[in-house]
């Protein structure tokens, strides 16, 4: 499907690419086939796609997979795709917002096929952060997930301690998954053309993760507090964060126990150090850090 084909498809149904939904449709069939390959989709696999769009990537996924469930939040696009019957028979199209969708239930719906379950998405850039965080909770259900994100977001996922891009997303993903940079895409690959470049990443759950299944919310609370005030030391950033009872003395004592400079800032700690820090802070007397993150 070319750029003109996408424009014609939208025109036939009185649709426009919606900025409020972050719609930038892939327009290159060959690129879609390459992305499906980079996502590791193989014969027999089951795929969840987030963001059907005009179906360019959907068809490439369906050509390789056993079954595809594709979600799109735009009711007009869903109606148009159904009206023209452009999607293969092994695709189930659902009108659903990914932010409210029960992705765990969708992943579990494939269980009878005893096949790898992967997720692939050309993510709307405006919601990439919340969706990426949501996907971390599916790391026990998905073989992997491959996503198109704004290059700056991708660099945050790939960043290491001490870099400007390093932040809460870097830490959380560093403990949960291996992030692989697969391809950078130019704006011309999309319609309308975005003002930024895009990265296609593949995220694979870590078999060696030290993170227990129920630890992520507590860790996230500490990490987000640490990066919420990047210019402050950890002691000052974490003290009283979220209404907690962490005192400056408590925090200095914990950092000294872990061999971390009491003047350190969050951007200098490795993901593993953040995990050690959060575990000790949970045990600090009078400290509610063990509560679920809000």
In terms of DSSP bridges, do strands 144-150 and 198-205 run parallel, antiparallel, or are they unpaired?
antiparallel
The burial of 218, by beta-carbon neighbours within 10 Å (0-12 exposed, 13-18 middle, 19 or more buried), is given as: buried
Angle at 110 between CA 56 and CA 78, to 5 degrees: 35
* Domain presence at residue 264: yes
**How far, in Å, CA of 235 to CA of 269, rounded?**
13
* CATH code (residue 127): 3.40.50.150
* CATH code of 257's domain: 1.10.8.100
User: Does 211 fall in a domain?
Assistant: no
Asked if residue 200 belongs to a domain, the reply is: yes
Judge if 250 and 143 occupy the same domain. Answer: no
- 41 and 95 co-located in one domain: yes
How crowded is residue 84: how many other Cβ atoms within 10 Å of its Cβ?
A: 13
Token pair for 215: 């630890």
* Domain shared by 197 and 263, yes or no: no
End position of a domain, from candidates 175, 205, 235: 205
> pLDDT value at position 203?
98
Task: Measure the CA–CA gap between 222 and 281, rounded to whole angstroms.
Answer: 9
Pair (197, 220) in one structural domain: no
Between residues 24 and 291, which one has the greater pLDDT? 24
* Weakest mean pLDDT among 80-89, 96-105, 204-213, 276-285: 276-285
Q: Helix, strand or coil for residue 185?
A: strand
Domain span at 262 = 216-290
Higher pLDDT, 169 or 282: 169
Q: Per-residue pLDDT tens for 70-112?
A: 999 999 999 999 999 999 999 999 999 999 999 999 999 998 8
User: Does residue 107 lie in a domain region?
Assistant: yes
210 in a domain, yes or no?
A: no
Same domain flag for 125 and 265: no
Same domain, 197 and 229: no
Identify the pLDDT of residue 111: 85
DSSP state of 263: T
Count of domains forming the chain: 2
Q: Which one of 205, 225, 244 terminates a domain?
A: 205
**Tens digits of residue pLDDT in 127-147:** 999 999 999 999 999 999 999
Q: Are residues 159 and 271 in the same domain?
A: no
Q: Are residues 248 and 223 in the same domain?
A: yes
Alpha carbon separation from 174 to 161, 179, 225, 251 (Å, rounded): 11, 8, 17, 23
pLDDT value, residue 213: 81
State whether 83 and 26 are in the same domain: yes
**Is residue 93 in a domain?**
yes
CA 199, CA 123: separation in Å to the nearest integer?
11
Q: Do 183 and 230 belong together in one domain?
A: no
Residues 17 and 40 in one domain: yes
Structural domain contains residue 52:
yes
Q: What is the pTM of this model?
A: 0.91
20 part of a folded domain? yes
Note whether 189 and 230 are same-domain residues: no
pLDDT of the residue at 241: 64
Res 283: pLDDT: 67
Domain boundary among 155, 178, 205: 205
């Amino acid at each position: 499907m070319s750029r003109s084909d996408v424009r014609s498809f939208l025109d036939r149904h009185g649709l426009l690419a919606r900025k409020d939904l972050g719609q930038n449709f892939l327009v290159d069939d060959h690129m879609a086939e390459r992305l499906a390959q980079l996502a590791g989709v193989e014969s027999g696999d089951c795929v969840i796609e987030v963001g059907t769009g005009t179906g360019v990537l959907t068809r490439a996924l369906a050509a390789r997979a056993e079954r595809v469930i594709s979600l799109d939040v735009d009711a007009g696009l869903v109606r148009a795709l159904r009206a023209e019957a452009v999607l293969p028979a092994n695709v189930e199209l659902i009108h659903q917002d990914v932010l409210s969708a029960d992705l765990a239930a969708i992943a579990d719906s494939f269980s009878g096929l005893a096949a790898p379950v992967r997720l692939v998405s050309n993510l709307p850039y405006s919601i990439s952060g919340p969706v990426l965080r949501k996907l971390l909770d599916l790391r026990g259900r998905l073989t992997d997930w491959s996503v198109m994100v704004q290059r700056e977001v991708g660099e945050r996922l790939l960043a290491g301690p001490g870099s400007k891009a390093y932040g809460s997303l870097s830490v959380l993903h560093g403990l949960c998954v291996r992030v692989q940079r697969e391809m950078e895409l130019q704006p011309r690959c999309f319609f309308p053309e975005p003002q930024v470049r895009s990265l296609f990443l593949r995220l694979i759950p870590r078999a060696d993760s030290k993170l227990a299944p129920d630890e992520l919310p507590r860790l996230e609370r500490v990490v987000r507090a640490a990066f919420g005030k990047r210019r402050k030391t950890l002691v000052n950033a974490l003290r009283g964060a979220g209404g907690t009872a962490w005192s400056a003395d408590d925090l200095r004592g914990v950092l000294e126990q872990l061999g971390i400079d009491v003047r350190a800032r969050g951007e200098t700690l490795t993901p593993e150090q953040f995990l050690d820090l959060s575990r000790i802070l949970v045990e600090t007397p009078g400290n509610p850090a063990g509560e679920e993150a809000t």
